[in-house]
Structure 1
Amino acid sequence: MADADTRPNVLFVLTDQERYDCSAPDGPPVETETMDRLSSEGMRFSQACTPISICTSARASLMTGRYPHGHGMLNNSHEADAIRPNLPPELPTFSELLAESGYDCSYTGKWHVGRDQTPEEFGFSYLGGSDTHHDDIDDAFREHREEQGVPPDEVELEGELYTGDDPRDTSSGTFVAAKTPVDVEETRAWFLAERTIEAIEDHADGDGGGPDGGEPFFHRADFYGPHHPYVVPEPYASMYDPAGIEPPESYAETYEGKPQVHENYLHYRGADGFDWNHWAEAVAKYWGFVTMIDDQLERILKALEARGLADETVVVHAADHGDFVGGHRQFNKGPLMYDDTYRIPLQVRWPGVTEPGSVCDAPVHLHDLAPTFLEMGGVSVPDAFDSRSLVPLLESGGDPSAVPADWPGSTFAQYHGDEFGLYSQRMVRTDRYKYVYNGPDVDEVYDLKRDPAELQNLIDHPEYADVRREMRERLIEWMERTDDPNQGWVPDVLRNAS
């Protein structure tokens, strides 16, 4: 008789454009009881960053454990100008390797890692919940809404907000926020949670789901949100009063001393037509969206407990990247490498391994989860990955002295452009400083301790000459370590700069 498979189940919940600060202890007053519970029962990573702040590229990095320049999906796959619309089939992905090792892998929700590919081509069974804008995989959610008697295109929204000169003009601009009259049970968030609960129950009923129940499962639930448009029903639509929301410190942005593209993006996105009252309304809906997803996560965790799987399942919550939501007076994301969009939430609850309530301050990346999932599953990490497993950190209890001696002291990120056009950027970030390389414009240096809002670019400040030099060397090291194609000439530019 074969030995029982003692590897843990994994439930991975990925949100779309969720800001780090929404579930941070010192963040705004957003109700995230379930995410807070994961932090109190597991480990919270305080310095987690995405390798790139754009959906397809970040998600492809998550799948492959590689930086975007390594997998080639440099911008969104659904756009006509996609540099690479699909993942190269020869690149190993963590999900295929887990499936080959015996994990029962399933997937619900947003994909966005290929114009013509689906999760089923990467080891998952796909259970529905995508949409045609990003993936065009199926019509499962539409069918659900029709069964509920409220097809999506027959709902009249309230208080719609659009970018542009007139935020109330629904005929132009980008749709930002609104209240929907439907019940929570008719939202995509509820539907994705329900499909995830069904997957958990199927795993349990199929003699899987744990050390004593056959093959372990890996389920990935990708929520569409809190990405714009921030459309939420009651009670979430009025949960946060716009009148009580104060502008963030970065709202004082003047763009003085910053790359010109920052101000260009303000106009390109149409956010120059918003005053703070409009932004406060959008922020209130965004926060409501976060809380709605948090409540759906609670339903999922209760299903794990009801099936007796909680102690045998690692639960991971992260986001592909953040969202400006008025920070620096900006909307969405773009070639602005601020913490608003590059810092992400990351919580891991691994019963028997992570110390409850522990905090890890070591710098980590979203795509470090790829080798982490493999090590959890006892699978060798491919040499092609340029990421590191978080398992040693998860086992450290948050003790800084237990962090491996060779663990990087910074994070590295990049940007290659989106529908605005190609725009090459690189960033290196420590707990104190940030350096941004902008190929066609002025570089940036920020002192995150003195200026957490990143308002003052210190690139030419004489007192920061040593910092500038040190951060440039860190950036060069990252480019060499990850075989960045720009290492052929950028290092000389940085070293020769004053």
Structure 2
Amino acid sequence: MADVDGRPNVLFVLTDQERYDYSAPDGPPVETETIDRLSSEGMRFERAVTPISICTSARASLLTGLFPHGHGMLNNSHEADAIRANLPTELPTFSELLAESGYELTYTGKWHVGDDQTPEDFGFSYLGGSDKHHDDIDEAFREYREERGTPLGETELEDEIYTRGGEESGTFVAAKTPVDVEDTRAYFLAERTIDAIEAHAEGNREEPFFHRADFYGPHHPYVVPEPYASMYDPAAIERPESYAETYDGKPQVHENFLHYRGVADFDWETWAEAIAKYRGFVTMIDDQLERILDVLEDHGLDEETAVVHAADHGDFVGGHRQFNKGPLMYDDTYRVPLQVRWPGVVEPGSVCEDPVHLHDLAATFLEMGDVAAPDSFDARSLVPLLEGEDGTDRPDAVFAQYHGDEFGLYTQRMVRTERYKYVYNGPDIDELYDLETDPAELQNLIDHPGYADVRGAMRERLVDWMDRTDDPNRKWVPDVLRDRERN
């Protein structure tokens, strides 16, 4: 179904640092009834991967349909060592092209693509909800909290967890907040999204809308009110298989990161407390999504609106005993949830097992809007898959990269098939995992003689991808890999 001009409305909900497995059928016991509803009424993608597990870089890829080395936003724009502070304006974006084609574009919540840019520089009308740490581009949420009598920064948190043993030198990980759910940023962003939907329903419905709701969560700090703060019992949380990580045979930076992130001394009881809050955060956002979908239905827009849910990247939350993200290309942070409900197009309850990239959504949104994707895009539209095609003409692998976070530059490239994952680490040993026999990615098989042919084939695939996408490292990495094969 579509709006009056024949094209669907699009509601795009992007979460920040949400793990894939928390809404997967065989994942941990986390309540995600609304995301599950999208899966049952639409399509769930089992092998969606972010091009990079860094906020700015992944979000810039979503806009431009490019891998990070193509748009140049290689690390977070707000950090002192940012390679670029802003996305180059000459790059075409899906949002500007949709706006030019007649879509009404609105945006709430997190931006984090450029320090001196806002969604309004890329075709959107911005409706507020930014976070001071990342964007600080409006006062709306702070004013909202003051009007409710719960000013930001004036509440006493409980059960606080910090890295490095305390608030003075550590990073804030998790806590319980005494405020009501209605005081949370997640609730506020849902309210602003509902406002946008209602404005369209009561206004000019001859042209379709595209609304993007970017939630600040479940990214740390995992701060949640009741009932979510105590929804998950830490004592009942099972250790992930990857918690048995020893770092034996892994790049040294993996173990170094335990100390860099300040969690080397976290015991399981501490992690279980943090995981419980993270899971509560996931469920709280899921409940806000339910409110949004109910309003779509109340206004008769559900049948003419494609709803897409994804995350910019995942989160370790104790996986491999790590916190946050970094130069570790495990599925914990690179595999992302992706669900699409598109009435009249997507078969309810369908599952896509084809490998796809998060930034394929840029080309997908354009095809939904009957707009041609620019030749510059690395992205491939998911519309054929959504329409039920088998995907035999698509690559059977996905690729990703990493360039460093706030600790400095660090070169990584990844190729992942259904069974194998190969990671090129510029300054250290490479990684090879057999995901069929070792889904937790605990055993690095890079030097295993029984996997020599697999290693060589994966390296060749990586070199081919680097050539096809004009990766600047393509001029010297192939020689490095050939030397590693000989040695």
| Alpha-carbon distance in 2 for matches of 1:403, 1:413 | 23
Query: In the alignment, does 2:448 pair up with 1:476?
Result: no
**Residue 280 of structure 1 is aligned with which of 268, 272, 287?**
272
Aligned to 1:412: 399
Report the CA distance between 1:125 and its aligned residue: 0.2
Aligned to 2:158: 158
Q: Which amino acid aligns with 1:446?
A: Y
Aligned to 1:79: 79
| Alpha-carbon distance in 1 for matches of 2:479, 2:86 | 33
The CA deviation string for residues 187-231 of structure 1, in whole angstroms up to 9 with x for no partner, is 0000000000000000111122xxxxx000000000000000000
| Alpha-carbon distance in 2 for matches of 1:315, 1:68 | 26
**Residue 460 of structure 1 is aligned with which of 424, 447, 450?**
447
1:388 partner SS: coil
2:478 partner SS: helix
Report the CA distance between 1:492 and its aligned residue: 2.2
Query: In the alignment, does 2:162 pair up with 1:170?
Result: no
1:159 partner SS: strand
Report the CA distance between 1:348 and its aligned residue: 0.2
Aligned to 1:487: 474
Map 1:218-229 → 2, pairs under 5 A = 218-229=210-221
Report the CA distance between 1:371 and its aligned residue: 0.3
- Unmatched tracts of structure 1, length 5 or more: 209-213, 397-401
1:425 partner SS: strand
The CA deviation string for residues 439-459 of structure 1, in whole angstroms up to 9 with x for no partner, is 010000000010000000000
| Alpha-carbon distance in 1 for matches of 2:393, 2:369 | 23
Report the CA distance between 1:252 and its aligned residue: 0.6
The CA deviation string for residues 381-431 of structure 1, in whole angstroms up to 9 with x for no partner, is 0001011000011011xxxxx334330110000000011100000000011
Aligned to 2:351: 359
Report the CA distance between 1:10 and its aligned residue: 0.1
Q: Which amino acid aligns with 2:449?
A: P
Map 1:19-418 → 2, pairs under 5 A = 19-164=19-164, 166=165, 169-208=166-205, 214-396=206-388, 402-418=389-405
1:31/1:4 Cα in 2 relative to 1: closer, same or farther (>3 Å)?
A: closer
| Alpha-carbon distance in 2 for matches of 1:66, 1:256 | 35
Report the CA distance between 1:469 and its aligned residue: 0.9
TM-score (norm 1): 0.96
The CA deviation string for residues 233-271 of structure 1, in whole angstroms up to 9 with x for no partner, is 000000000001111010011111000110111100001
Paired residues of 2:76 and 2:82 also in contact (CA < 8 A): yes
- Give me the CA root mean square deviation: 0.9
| Alpha-carbon distance in 1 for matches of 2:43, 2:482 | 39
Paired residues of 2:11 and 2:210 also in contact (CA < 8 A): yes
| Alpha-carbon distance in 2 for matches of 1:293, 1:404 | 32
1:190 partner SS: helix
Aligned to 1:11: 11
| Alpha-carbon distance in 2 for matches of 1:98, 1:297 | 24
Report the CA distance between 1:4 and its aligned residue: 4.4
Q: Which amino acid aligns with 2:185?
A: R
Q: Which amino acid aligns with 1:356?
A: P
Report the CA distance between 1:171 and its aligned residue: 2.1
| Alpha-carbon distance in 1 for matches of 2:204, 2:84 | 40
Report the CA distance between 1:170 and its aligned residue: 2.4
> How many residues are paired up?
483
Report the CA distance between 1:172 and its aligned residue: 2.1
The CA deviation string for residues 272-294 of structure 1, in whole angstroms up to 9 with x for no partner, is 12100000000000000000000
Q: Which amino acid aligns with 2:373?
A: V
Report the CA distance between 1:437 and its aligned residue: 0.0
Report percent identity of matched pairs: 81
Report the CA distance between 1:57 and its aligned residue: 0.2
The CA deviation string for residues 120-151 of structure 1, in whole angstroms up to 9 with x for no partner, is 00000000000121112011111110011001
| Alpha-carbon distance in 1 for matches of 2:57, 2:93 | 14
Paired residues of 1:131 and 1:139 also in contact (CA < 8 A): no
Paired residues of 2:4 and 2:208 also in contact (CA < 8 A): no
